[in-house]
Amino acid sequence: MPGLSPVQPMTKRKPARRPRARSTTARLAGIALTLAAGVSLHSCANISTERELKAASAGLEELLKSLGSAVRQQAGLDSAPGVAPAPTGPVRTAGTAGAFGACPQFFAGGQPPVIKPQPSQRALCYDAFAVLHSGESKTAVYVAQKLNRALVADADEKRTDKFFADARLRATERATLQDYRSSGFDRGHLAPAGQMPTPAAMAQSFSLANIVPQAPDHNQGAWRVSVEDATKKYAARASGHVYVITGPFYSPGIAQSQAIGAGRVRVPKYLFKLVYDEAQGRAWAHWHLNDNATRGSAPISYAELVRRTGIEFLPGVRLAD
């Protein structure tokens, strides 16, 4: 018909290529950056109300939190049954400067023990103690505390008994609740629950990073009475700070030691507890065989503990003769 354009022949269009799905982390990162840019542009354009800016900032904060969760999940640090979140703190390889930068107060002179670093060692800070954890044994290398009269007087919290795996540790490097079930061993505290001065510290003491497989009669008998209770009583009488370092010793080595559970949590042959009275300049150590038949014994000297373990627990400290 006059005035109408001729009909153009139809051409077959290629289907549009679907963009490749991005990972959750990348998608959240992009959204977060976009929102951040949007907040900035709004600021430059003089947002009409302060309420809008606050709302945009809150949205950005929520997205960043989601991004952090996604990153943790992809890194294998997500929570699982029996895995509870722990207080934030450094997770660094032992031996590096500042490994315990967030909690130097648990070490005499602020200096952690000198030990040969291993790739699977992680430094963890809690409210009332610090842990150097080994991913090889899936237990602590040592746990450090600082006690004094005031802290001991406050150590009257109700015991929680809620054990958990610390989510700051890689899943392949930490013990689980299942590892201890039907193992024949107690979940033995290194930093005792009975020495925790606050409800939060009490709850944190049940981290499996603060636990070793311990012979039941030893845990509930000689170790508790002649070591843990004796140390607490001493700190309650001391005029100043008392630094305590507790740990397991594997003989002939970690790889040759008995293991429990599917995670192969290693059972220490011995347990030690170093006690250092800062005001007196004196140090001694309890050294116990991890066995049901173990009874109380006389402490050993600091020098002997260093010789047996190969660890300089009090670097820079000059002990009284």
- Could you tell me the residue ranges of all domains in the chain? 24-74, 83-309
Closest by Cα among 194, 277, 282 to 234 = 277
Helices H / strands E in the chain, number of each:
9, 13
Asked if residue 249 has pLDDT above 70, the reply is: yes
pTM of the model as a whole: 0.74
Give me the mean pLDDT over the 264-273 stretch.
Answer: 98
Asked if residue 143 has pLDDT above 70, the reply is: yes
Asked if residue 299 has pLDDT above 90, the reply is: yes
Give me the mean pLDDT over the 163-188 stretch.
Answer: 97
| pLDDT at 87 (0 to 100) | 55
Q: In whole angstroms, give the CA distance from residue 112 to residue 93.
A: 13
DSSP calls for 257-319:
S-EETTTTEEPPSEEEEEEEETTTTEEEEEEEESSTT------EEHHHHHHHH--BSSTT---
Asked if residue 142 has pLDDT above 90, the reply is: yes
| pLDDT at 60 (0 to 100) | 45
Q: In whole angstroms, give the CA distance from residue 14 to residue 33.
A: 33
Assign domain 83-309 one CATH number from 3.50.50.60, 3.20.20.450, 3.40.50.1000, 3.40.570.10: 3.40.570.10
To 5 degrees, how large is the angle CA 55–CA 59–CA 60? 120
| pLDDT at 1 (0 to 100) | 41
Amino acid letter at 145? Q
pLDDT band at 83 (very low <50, low <70, confident <90, very high): low
Q: Output 27 or 175, whichever has higher pLDDT.
A: 175
Q: In whole angstroms, give the CA distance from residue 32 to residue 291.
A: 55
| pLDDT at 99 (0 to 100) | 86
Average pLDDT of the chain is: 81
Place of tokens 């590096």: 96
| pLDDT at 320 (0 to 100) | 87
| pLDDT at 3 (0 to 100) | 43
What is the C-alpha R_g of the chain? 27
pLDDT tens for 44-78 read 334 344 444 444 454 445 444 444 444 343 333 34
Output the six-digit token pair for 253.
Answer: 């080595």
